[in-house]
Amino acid sequence: MQDKYVFVTGGVLSGLGKGLVAASVGKFLQNQGLEVYPVKCDGYLNVDPGTMNPNEHGEVFVLKDGTEVDMDFGHYERFLGEEMTGEQNLTSGKIFQEVISKEREGKYLGETVQMIPHVTDQIKNKFKDDGVKIIEVGGTVGDIENMLYLEALRQLKKDYNVCHIHVTLVPYLDATGELKTKPTQHSVKELRETGLQPDIIVGRSEKELDDEIKEKIALFCDVKKEEVISNPDLDNIYNIPLKFLEQDMDRILQEKLDLEKKKVDLSNWKTITDNMKKDSVAKIAICGKYTGMDDTYASVEEALKHAAAHNGGSVEIEYLSTEDIDVSKLNRFDGVIIPGGFGSRGVQGKIDVARYCRENNLPLLGLCLGMQIMTIEYAEKKGIEATSEEFEMNGEEVIGLMPDQDGKKGGTMRLGDYEAEIEGKTEKVYGTGKVVERHRHRYEFKPEFYSELQDGNFIISGKNPGSGLAEFIELKDHPFYIGTQAHPEFKSSVENPAPLFDELIKASK
Ligand code: GLN
């Protein structure tokens, strides 16, 4: 099969959900039996996003290989149910670093090293995969940062089957009750200056684009009316592929990419997303620190939605800040999550939440820091004044850095996939004796406390086979009280919810 590419660019402003468009298109292609290979191209000079302030870009999403990436990868994985790698995230910093290293090693054999062709070739070399490549360029057309990516795409167009999707904003003016196409016209004009012409225009707007607006955009932007796709505000992001399907976007893609003409069938997907509209099956409290911030727990929230949908309905989620929590209010909830986090703030409240759930048989899932909190709480129950090395709190450090991490600044993060051999309820939940989950943490449940804390009720229900470190803990005498050092939320997808979330919902129902 000849190489096939889908380009996804954006105009007018950023934050229009290009990643969701890319993920939706990937879903169509996957549904017709094709392999897809999404690549996200970011303009910034950081070599990887791990060094950027997470609060600026929403949640830090962690891939199986430990690469820390932005939330778009979460969308790709949740829609496609496939795991990505760090290779699929390009940044200008990474590309330049590679080109300069090659130059220093004398690999260019005396040539003058230039933006074109050397940098653009370096970019194109990243697109070597057998699947249909979906290349999303971050930011908007016209950003200086993105010029080299767009140039690389332009060069690809003449040799391969390409479907270029341009996502723009179609603003709605309340005063006149009109949708405005001018920003889209300008954005396409700007795109053309780079030598690219879109095949499909996705118009993001508050309202549905009607035929007249589609006609107008088509006229000014040299696409057919059917190639203008309406992408209005929807109450659920998982309905976006369905919205596109209604407008026969699958057919247009097939045409442009010269693919077999096959109706995409998302009926299974629709059954799941329809459940998300139904009554709530459980009311879950997420008891954490940055509860004022949107997106901090995006993957936890999505994992809950996937799990609830598989249990026939939606989920009601409430965020409670543990800095000022009255735990007696938790009796309004069917289940609780203590999510991951860093630092001392709100820690006492989290310990109180764990105690309340333990004593009142309220289902609790502890994620990463959540598991550490559950361990500290249980140690306290056993008469140890317990704490973590991370907290500004007196006591015995039941949670701390491992000796091999000492000396390094702040310890190194344990990132990405680690295996665990599991037993007890944890094993029942997963239905297997071995699991691999993703990690992002520094501190560990210290092995010198393992025997002291385990008493037949509290058990370490999962250990890493190599290091012997605790990966899961659970209580035997409790309907659902499981903590994990991992972040199972990162592996949850619409069609395949994370087992621990599924079980939390079942226990809460
Ligand atoms: N702060 C804890 C650690 O570094 C937990 C991290 C997390 O919850 N992601 O170990």
d(CA 372, CA 392): 15
Q: State the catalytic residue, choosing from 227, 301, 489, 503.
A: 489
pLDDT, residue 55, reads 57
Amino acid identity, position 302: E
Q: Closest Cα to atom 8, ligand 1: which residue? A: 340
Q: Are 4-265 and 278-508 equal in CATH topology?
A: yes
Pairing state between β 61-62 and 36-42: unpaired
Catalytic-residue membership of 368: yes
* Between 67 and 482, residue with greater pLDDT: 482
3-state secondary structure of 319: strand
Tell whether the model's pLDDT for residue 62 goes beyond 60: yes
pLDDT, residue 356, reads 97
Tell whether the model's pLDDT for residue 43 goes beyond 60: yes
d(CA 433, CA 451): 22
The stretch 213-221 carries a mean pLDDT of 94
Beta bridge partners of 202: 167, 229
CB within 8 A of 286, min separation 6: which ones? Answer: 297, 300, 301, 317, 318, 319, 320, 336, 337, 339
pLDDT, residue 59, reads 81
d(CA 226, CA 218): 8
Max CA distance (Å), the chain: 75
Q: Closest Cα to atom 1, ligand 1: which residue? A: 342
Atom of ligand 1 nearest to the CA of 368: 8
Pairing state between β 36-42 and 132-137: parallel
**What is the band of 327 on the pLDDT scale with cuts at 50, 70, 90?**
very high
What are the pLDDT digits (tens) for 438-451? 999 999 999 999 99
* Between 509 and 267, residue with greater pLDDT: 267
Q: Closest Cα to atom 6, ligand 1: which residue? A: 441
Lowest mean pLDDT segment, chosen from 225-229, 285-289, 458-462:
285-289
Cα of 378 from ligand 1 centre, angstroms: 18
pLDDT, residue 294, reads 65
Atom of ligand 1 nearest to the CA of 367: 8
DSSP secondary structure, 361-418, as one string: T--EEEETHHHHHHHHHHHHHTT--EEETTSS--SEEEEE--GGGTTSTT---EEEEE
pLDDT, residue 406, reads 54
Tell whether the model's pLDDT for residue 230 goes beyond 60: yes
What are the pLDDT digits (tens) for 444-499? 999 999 999 999 999 999 999 999 999 999 999 999 999 999 999 999 999 999 99
CATH fold, domain 4-265, is: Rossmann fold (3.40.50)
d(CA 235, CA 230): 15
Of 209, 255, 183, 177, the closest CA to residue 12 belongs to 183
CB within 8 A of 402, min separation 6: which ones? Answer: 411, 444, 469
pLDDT, residue 158, reads 87
Tell whether the model's pLDDT for residue 50 goes beyond 70: no
Q: State the catalytic residue, choosing from 368, 390, 439, 444.
A: 368
**What is the band of 1 on the pLDDT scale with cuts at 50, 70, 90?**
low
Of 279, 282, 455, the closest CA to residue 375 belongs to 455
CB-neighbour burial class of residue 286 (10 A; exposed 0-12, middle 13-18, buried 19+): buried
Q: What is the mean pLDDT of the chain?
A: 92
The stretch 409-432 carries a mean pLDDT of 89
Catalytic-residue membership of 487: yes
Answer for the pair 76, 299: CB distance below 8 angstroms, yes or no. Answer: no
Answer for the pair 498, 481: CB distance below 8 angstroms, yes or no. Answer: no
Of 100-114, 399-413, 471-485, highest mean pLDDT: 471-485
Residues with CB under 6 A from ligand 1: 340-342, 368-369, 390, 440-443
Q: Closest Cα to atom 9, ligand 1: which residue? A: 340
Tell whether the model's pLDDT for residue 293 goes beyond 80: no
The full set of domain ranges for the chain reads: 4-265, 278-508
Cα of 444 from ligand 1 centre, angstroms: 9
Answer for the pair 350, 373: CB distance below 8 angstroms, yes or no. Answer: yes
**What is the band of 66 on the pLDDT scale with cuts at 50, 70, 90?**
very high
Atom of ligand 1 nearest to the CA of 439: 9
Amino acid identity, position 362: L
Amino acid identity, position 250: D
Cα of 343 from ligand 1 centre, angstroms: 8
pLDDT, residue 177, reads 87
3-state secondary structure of 37: strand
Catalytic-residue membership of 489: yes
Tell whether the model's pLDDT for residue 54 goes beyond 70: no
pLDDT, residue 49, reads 67
pLDDT, residue 335, reads 97
pLDDT, residue 289, reads 79
The stretch 51-69 carries a mean pLDDT of 79
Q: Where are the alpha helices (DSSP H) in 89-246?
A: 92-104, 120-124, 147-157, 182-193, 211-221, 240-246
Instruction: Name the architecture of domain 278-508.
Output: 3-Layer(aba) Sandwich (3.40)
pLDDT, residue 372, reads 97
Cα of 209 from ligand 1 centre, angstroms: 45
What are the pLDDT digits (tens) for 14-34? 889 999 999 999 999 999 999
Answer for the pair 357, 483: CB distance below 8 angstroms, yes or no. Answer: no
Answer for the pair 327, 292: CB distance below 8 angstroms, yes or no. Answer: no
What are the pLDDT digits (tens) for 127-169? 988 889 999 998 899 899 999 999 999 999 988 999 999 999 9
Answer for the pair 463, 469: CB distance below 8 angstroms, yes or no. Answer: yes
